[in-house]
Amino acid sequence: MSATIREVATAAGVSTATVSRALRGLPYVDEATRRRVVETAQRLDYVASPSASRLASGRTGTIAVLTPYVARWFFATVISGVAMALTEGPLDLLLVEVGNPERPSTVPLEQRLRSRADGAVAIALPDDHPEISQLIEHDFPLTVVGSLSDRVSSVAINDIETGRLATQHLINLGHRDIGLISGATNDDGFATQDDRTDGYNEALTRNGITPSPSLTSFGSFTREGGERAMVELLSRETTPTAVFCLSDEMAFGAIIALRRHGLTPGIDVALVGVDGHPQSELANLTTVAQPVAEMGRLAALALQEKLSVGESYVPSKQSVSVELIVRSSSAPPKGN
Amino acid sequence: MSATIREVATAAGVSTATVSRALRGLPYVDEATRRRVVETAQRLDYVASPSASRLASGRTGTIAVLTPYVARWFFATVISGVAMALTEGPLDLLLVEVGNPERPSTVPLEQRLRSRADGAVAIALPDDHPEISQLIEHDFPLTVVGSLSDRVSSVAINDIETGRLATQHLINLGHRDIGLISGATNDDGFATQDDRTDGYNEALTRNGITPSPSLTSFGSFTREGGERAMVELLSRETTPTAVFCLSDEMAFGAIIALRRHGLTPGIDVALVGVDGHPQSELANLTTVAQPVAEMGRLAALALQEKLSVGESYVPSKQSVSVELIVRSSSAPPKGN
DNA sequence: ATGAAAGCGCTAACAT
DNA sequence: ATGTTAGCGCTTTCAT
């Protein structure tokens, strides 16, 4: 094993309390003493045992990232943003899979987190998700990214505006029959999806176009799903001349489907996605880009703020702005 | 706060030692007693404090994932594989950024991990990386994925074979001037890159083609880098009719570069990548696919094996197999 | 099969 | 400014 605080104390000729204070940068330590302690600690290769200090202090010095998926681009990028914010401090990052329907967890989330993390950042999990909700009820410090919340601090884009922006762009190009590739079919209050859809409907209505349910299909926010959804749209009686996909990955699937049918995105069917996925350029995909890593960073900062402020902390809603990036997947309809 | 072990002990009418044994499934506990303890713990919503049990036992019950990047596809996917393996047990997953040249860390890795994790899985970090090497010297339980090692257990593809496979495929199509988009220019023993390059050279030589350094450029394993590398190749006196890219993401960049120059991948220049990236299908990219998530899972399992076996553990080398996926980015040269 | 008790290595009053 | 000391909540011998 390595050195303990007592060994450092003895070697430096002070008490363990002084070592503890000196090393943590607490006040009321003579500068000369501090230097001596720091030097001694270094010489003995001393590092405080996290378990011991956590047990004694009651703080874990770790924040958990709660995510349904770790490999998907949006999630991985948010995680990297959180990591970015944390490496500036001494906090550990505990990765916890939550809410992936394919890998349900047996132990309640609150129990898995209790005395394991001081707080958590939840990715794309709405505040009324059962496990998240339970966390909030237990007053577990939490911040969510990907949806706005009234209960805890949140960082998100304006999803309604996003839907409006994408759809209005297609309308401006001259499209009238604008399809929608949405996410999940079971609408369990997944706000992101609902809001983007509302924006889509609003834009249509505002331009005198009546939204038609027959122009919507569902792609579960995956590439494969987007592919299937596009195939389905192509089989409907009226096929859209443009399609708004609620995520870039679904749009990628839609592109593949179009290709299979001998159709060209931007020529035969216009396409707009959401995310600003790195491969959207490769795919020449028009997209509403969101600052994903930055959102993770902001969420982590908000959480740290809450942790340092304590009880009197007031939840904040941070709405970050999106940017429409126009590429060749969106062009006027053929006739024009 | 929540219940402590003593409260459970009192409520169940046993000692704390018995509660501890009963809840952890240790032997020498009467079945009736165990049931009573478990039931009491449940009723009191008791969960053992990790800090306390870690301090007392000396084990942390967490494994660290060491990665230079968390958002890039390969890394994120390995992480998800590790997470997959861990959710089957009660281990925590600590995410640690290591070896990202843009975000150097001040504290030595060994100190950041000491008494914080029982072991670690390192992603795409060679065993002679300074920090990793230091870890191994401290006998810190470690497994690496992405490169094979003689010092610790490792999971990787055969990179030489990968290079050979990709190159031979291009040769079989009739190409002779086959370029290479490699990764880093400074060859600090990054085996993955060197091995794939060796495979490339071998395939060429074996087919009577003399490798020419003027057909190689470097793309730092990023899309932007791949784009620049392709542009550079196109400016050389002899331009290749085919290019082997050491990663799919660099190939994506190469495709973009070709497009900018009015060239079509698979028609004007054939392209092969490595990874089996999800967007390789979208890009119609021929690629040598590796089972990335599975590699992460295997590495995590090997680590757990080492942790449970202890001293007598013998490091294993697991070589997983790759698969050439042929798409339209690779076709015979124009003349043929 | 169960209990008593001694730590694990630190932090945080409190005292000086 | 520094030292003393009492825990934090467990696990683990060692008894019985």
**Residue range A185-213: average pLDDT?**
91
Please tell me the distance from the alpha carbon of residue B198 to that of residue B205, in angstroms, as a whole number: 10
Distance of CA A225 to the CA centre of its chain: 20
**Residue range A198-211: average pLDDT?**
98
Please tell me the distance from the alpha carbon of residue A9 to that of residue A16, in angstroms, as a whole number: 5
Is residue B219 a contact partner of residue B244, using CB atoms and an 8 Å limit? no
Residue B110: which residues within 8 A CB-CB, separation 6 or more? B131, B134, B135, B138, B140
**Residue range A310-317: average pLDDT?**
89
Q: Which nucleotide is nearest to B57 (CA to C1')?
A: D11
Please tell me the distance from the alpha carbon of residue B110 to that of residue A311, in angstroms, as a whole number: 36
pLDDT of residue B307: 94
The reply to whether B29 Cβ lies less than 7 angstroms from strand C is yes
CA distances (Å), origin A137, targets A132, A144, B279: 9, 15, 41
Domain end point (choices A289, A308, A328): A289
Residues A233 and A190 in one domain: yes
Q: Is A119 helix (H, G, I), strand (E, B) or coil?
A: strand
**pLDDT beyond 70 at A110:** yes
Please tell me the distance from the alpha carbon of residue A282 to that of residue A273, in angstroms, as a whole number: 13
Tell me if A18 is assigned to some domain.
yes
Tell me if A334 is assigned to some domain.
no
| Contacting residues of A for B45, CB less than 8 Å apart | 111
| b (16+ CB within 10 A) / e for B221-231 | bbbebbbbbbb
pLDDT of residue B185: 86
**pLDDT beyond 70 at A1:** no
Tokens for A288?
A: 């509403």
**pLDDT beyond 60 at B189:** no
Alpha helix (H) residue ranges in chain A:
5-12, 16-24, 31-43, 50-57, 73-86, 109-113, 130-137, 159-172, 191-206, 223-235, 248-260, 292-309
Query: Which of B306, B335, B328, B2 is closest to B154 using CA atoms?
Result: B306
pLDDT of residue B188: 61
Residues A113 and A193 in one domain: no
pLDDT of residue B187: 63
Residues A25 and A73 in one domain: no
| Contacting residues of A for B255, CB less than 8 Å apart | 282
Is residue A105 a contact partner of residue A97, using CB atoms and an 8 Å limit? yes
Test mutation, A45, A70, A77, chain B, max B CBs within 10 A? A70
**Residue range B64-84: average pLDDT?**
97
Is residue A179 a contact partner of residue A214, using CB atoms and an 8 Å limit? no
Tell me if A326 is assigned to some domain.
no
**What mean pLDDT value characterizes chain B?**
95
Task: Kindly report which amino acid residue has its CA closest to the C1' atom of nucleotide C4.
Answer: B15
Confidence band (pLDDT; 50, 70, 90) for B312?
Answer: confident
Ramachandran class of A310: left when φ > 0, alpha when ψ lies in -120 to 50, beta otherwise: left
Is residue B228 a contact partner of residue B219, using CB atoms and an 8 Å limit? yes
**Residue range B88-99: average pLDDT?**
93
State how beta strands A142-145 and A153-157 pair: parallel
Please tell me the distance from the alpha carbon of residue A229 to that of residue A224, in angstroms, as a whole number: 9
Please report, rounded to a whole number, the percentage of residues in chain B having pLDDT higher than 70: 99
**pLDDT beyond 60 at A189:** no
**pLDDT beyond 90 at A334:** no
A83 touches chain B (CB under 8 A): yes
Residues A42 and A111 in one domain: no
Residues A164 and A281 in one domain: yes
| Contacting residues of B for A281, CB less than 8 Å apart | 256
CATH of the domain at B276: 3.40.50.2300
Distance of CA B286 to the CA centre of its chain: 21
Residues A152 and A138 in one domain: yes
pLDDT of residue A186: 75
pLDDT of residue B29: 93
The reply to whether B14 Cβ lies less than 7 angstroms from strand C is yes
Tell me if A332 is assigned to some domain.
no
Residues A272 and A195 in one domain: yes
Please tell me the distance from the alpha carbon of residue A42 to that of residue A64, in angstroms, as a whole number: 30
- CA B15 to C1' C4 (Å) is 9
Nearest chain B CA: its distance from A281 CA (Å): 8
Tell me if B251 is assigned to some domain.
yes
Tell me if A243 is assigned to some domain.
yes
Tell me if B189 is assigned to some domain.
yes
Confidence band (pLDDT; 50, 70, 90) for B220?
Answer: very high
Angle between helices A50-57 and B50-57 (to 10 degrees): 140
pLDDT of residue B336: 60
Residues A190 and A283 in one domain: yes
Tokens for B41?
A: 């713990």
Tokens for B302?
A: 């090997």
In B, minimum Cα distance to A74 occurs at B71
Range of the domain at A50: 5-57
pLDDT of residue A311: 81
pLDDT of residue A25: 94
Shortest CB distance from A70 goes to which of B54, B80, B105?
B80
Residues B308 and B211 in one domain: no
State how beta strands B286-289 and B216-218 pair: unpaired
Residues A152 and A301 in one domain: yes
- CA B30 to C1' D16 (Å) is 17
Shortest CB distance from B71 goes to which of A76, A223, A283?
A76
Residues B175 and B264 in one domain: yes
Count of domains forming chain A: 3
What is the DSSP secondary structure assignment for residue B282, as one 8-state letter? T
Q: What are phi and psi of A276, to 5 degrees?
A: 75, 40
State how beta strands A62-67 and B62-67 pair: unpaired
Helix (H) / strand (E) containing B133: helix B130-137
Residues B82 and B106 in one domain: yes
CATH of the domain at B11: 1.10.260.40
| CB neighbourhood size of A36 (10 A) | 17
**pLDDT beyond 60 at A270:** yes
**Residue range A96-117: average pLDDT?**
93
A100 touches chain B (CB under 8 A): no
Test mutation, B72, B80, B285, chain A, max A CBs within 10 A? B80
**Residue range B54-59: average pLDDT?**
96
B311 burial via Cβ count (<10 Å: 0-12, 13-18, 19+): exposed
Query: 3-state SS of chain A: helix, strand, coil percent to 5?
Result: 45, 15, 40
Nearest chain B CA: its distance from A80 CA (Å): 5
Please tell me the distance from the alpha carbon of residue A123 to that of residue A287, in angstroms, as a whole number: 21
A59 touches chain B (CB under 8 A): no
Q: pLDDT tens digit string along B112-149?
A: 999 999 999 999 999 999 999 999 999 999 999 999 99
Confidence band (pLDDT; 50, 70, 90) for A105?
Answer: confident
pLDDT of residue A188: 62
Shortest CB distance from A76 goes to which of B62, B70, B96?
B70
Tokens for B106?
A: 């001040």
Please report, rounded to a whole number, the percentage of residues in chain A having pLDDT higher than 70: 99
**pLDDT beyond 90 at A187:** no
Please tell me the distance from the alpha carbon of residue A319 to that of residue A291, in angstroms, as a whole number: 11
Is residue A147 a contact partner of residue A124, using CB atoms and an 8 Å limit? yes
B221 touches chain A (CB under 8 A): no
- All protein residues with a CB under 7 A from any atom of strand D: A 13-18, 21, 27-30, 32-34, 52, 55-56; B 1, 3-6, 16-17, 20-21, 23-24, 46, 48-49, 52-53, 55-58
Tell me if B213 is assigned to some domain.
yes
**Residue range B266-270: average pLDDT?**
97
**Residue range B161-182: average pLDDT?**
98
